[in-house]
Amino acid sequence: MKSMKGVKGAKGIQDMDDRWREKVRTAEELRGIVAKARSEGKVVVFTNGCFDLLHGGHISYLEESRALGDLLILGLNSDSSIRQLKGPGRPVYPQDERLEILAALEAVDYIVVFEDRSCDRLLAQIHPDIHSKGTDYTADTVPERETARRLGIRTVIAGAPKENSTRDIIELVVEKNARR
């Protein structure tokens, strides 16, 4: 996102530009946060994804995931991880922009960026109570289901039924621009 730093009349904008960074943590920091939350009897929910071209399905998924517990940690695929998963030309929005957008959402308490194709390693490091995935998965198709099962982490499918995807949005934009 374009920064408004130095723009005349943009008092307080610099603070706003950096506020999102407060939610971004390392896996090690999150281990401590999760331990403290557990000691207070709180339920920790973890979810993950690319979140490139944020859409209504993402919002539904994140809000419903947050409602499952007291704290929502979002694992965000890095740019290189997305390229491995989705191919060249992705992500549309670079990592820092996706971080800033996601951190602005009230449902998201913390975000951790990861480089792997799956979040298996993060699940083991953070060890949440619940691993939430969107409705484009079933309990049997969640890539990390075996890791979650082995660690005693409950897997939950959350959000409205899948009606759109970033890929579909990109295809629609390309198609509309091709007709011009």
Residues 39-91: tens digit of each pLDDT: 999 999 999 999 988 878 889 999 999 999 999 999 999 999 999 988 888 88
Does residue 13 have a pLDDT over 70? no
With tokens 């999102």, the residue in question is 20
Q: What is the spatial distance between Cα 117 and Cα 8, in angstroms, rounded to a whole number?
A: 43
Residues 88-116: tens digit of each pLDDT: 888 888 999 999 999 999 999 999 999 99
Q: Which amino acid is it at 125?
A: Q
Cβ atoms of residues 141 and 116 within 8 Å: no
Looking at domain 20-178, which CATH architecture does it have? 3-Layer(aba) Sandwich (3.40)
Q: What is the spatial distance between Cα 120 and Cα 178, in angstroms, rounded to a whole number?
A: 40
Prediction pTM value: 0.82
Residues 130-169: tens digit of each pLDDT: 999 999 899 899 999 999 999 999 999 998 776 666 566 5
